[in-house]
Amino acid sequence: MEATRSNLAVVPAYNEAHTIVRVIDSLHEHAPDFDVLVVDDGSTDGTRELALHAGAHVVRHPFNLGIGGAVQSGFAYALDNGYGRMAQVDGDGQHLAEELQVLIDRMDADPGVDMVCGSRFLTDKGYPATISRRTGIHIFAFLLSRIVSQRVSDPTSGFRLYNRRAIALFAGDYPHDYPEVEAVLMVHHHRLRMLEVPVHMLERGGGKSSIRSGKSAYYMVKVLLALFVGLLRRRPVPRPGDDAPVAASHAL
């Protein structure tokens, strides 16, 4: 199947029935040259039907794979269908579709950039986040900035625009549980370029964040482990000719 347009907006959604229609309508209105794909990650609240009714394409997982798996399905869809650019927009309405143009303009201005991230911390726009969440984000931001030797102010932002190279990379390998932070590291390892642009983010319109409060400690530890191990990996993903990353038999 050939893409009707060359831009795809991917909206990962898990039980976002309250907001999904608003998000899709807003994308149709403010980003008319984007096809909209909702990746329904096993929702039980009718998110899929609402999304289809609102005029989006829908890929539905038979069970919940988590945010990493959902976004990676978006990358695979974009790669298979020949899209040149892919935007990632949360299904909870915290990203503004009208600001997608800011990301696009940045990528247009510099064709060597493979990933543009919307950051809520580049200018002080007063993002409403709890202190603990903010602290966690700033710790990741500090560590990542040192590792990739470039300022990364908002590594957990899920408001991103990718070009074809980044799509191909992440379609083949995208982190599992809490992917955004590790994705920045992967971009660095593969010598792709990323930039941040300032955007606004609203409070969540409904539903639950993929980072629940009780899990935030687990989140911190897991991502720190991933960052640490990622540093020790010489080749973070298999190259052509390597063993398959998941194989049926492995000697211990």
Partner 1 sequence: MDTKIQILAIVASGGMLLVILEMVRQRRLLERYALLWLFSALVLLALAVWRDFLETIANTIGIIYPPNALFVIAFGFVLVLLLHFSIAVSRLADQSKVLAQRVALLEERQNRAEAERSEAEAEEVLER
Q: How far is the CB of 24 from partner 1 (least distance, A)?
A: 25
Q: How far apart are CA 90 and CA 94, in angstroms?
A: 7
Tell me if 233 contacts partner 1 by CB under 8 A: yes
- 202 versus 229: smaller Cβ distance to partner 1: 229
Which position among 124, 126, 240, 250 is part of the footprint of partner 1 (CB under 8 A)? 250
Residue 30 parent element (H or E): helix 20-30
Among 205, 164, 233, smallest CA distance to 24 is for: 205
Q: How far is the CB of 84 from partner 1 (least distance, A)?
A: 29
Tell me if 241 contacts partner 1 by CB under 8 A: no
- Residue 34, beta-bridge partner list: 7
Tell me if 62 contacts partner 1 by CB under 8 A: yes
**Distance linking the first and last C-alpha atoms of the chain:** 42
Which position among 18, 176, 200, 215 is part of the footprint of partner 1 (CB under 8 A)? 176
Q: Is 88 helix (H, G, I), strand (E, B) or coil?
A: strand
Q: How far is the CB of 78 from partner 1 (least distance, A)?
A: 22
Tell me if 240 contacts partner 1 by CB under 8 A: no
- 200 versus 222: smaller Cβ distance to partner 1: 222
Q: How far apart are CA 151 and CA 48, in angstroms?
A: 38
Which position among 4, 232, 239, 240 is part of the footprint of partner 1 (CB under 8 A)? 232
Total residues contacting partner 1 (rule CB under 8 A)?
14
SS3 content of the chain, % helix, strand, coil (to 5): 40, 15, 45
Q: How far is the CB of 145 from partner 1 (least distance, A)?
A: 22
Contacts of 192 (CB under 8 A, 6+ apart): 114, 115, 165, 166, 169
Helix and strand counts by DSSP (H, E) for the chain = 8, 7
Stretch that binds partner 1, among 79-87, 156-164, 195-203, 222-230 (CB under 8 A): 222-230
Its sign, for the CA torsion 143, 147, 149, 150, is negative
Tell me if 245 contacts partner 1 by CB under 8 A: yes
Q: How far is the CB of 232 from partner 1 (least distance, A)?
A: 5
Kindly give the interhelix angle for 100-109 and 20-30, rounded to the nearest 10 degrees.
50
Which position among 63, 131, 191, 239 is part of the footprint of partner 1 (CB under 8 A)? 63
Q: How far apart are CA 157 and CA 164, in angstroms?
A: 20
Structure token digits, residue 48: 């899929």
Q: How far is the CB of 9 from partner 1 (least distance, A)?
A: 26
Stretch that binds partner 1, among 14-22, 75-83, 162-170, 221-229 (CB under 8 A): 221-229
Which 105-134 positions form the footprint of partner 1 (CB under 8 A)?
Answer: none
Which residues of this chain interact with partner 1, rule CB under 8 A?
A: 62-63, 176-177, 218, 221-222, 225-226, 229, 232-233, 245, 250
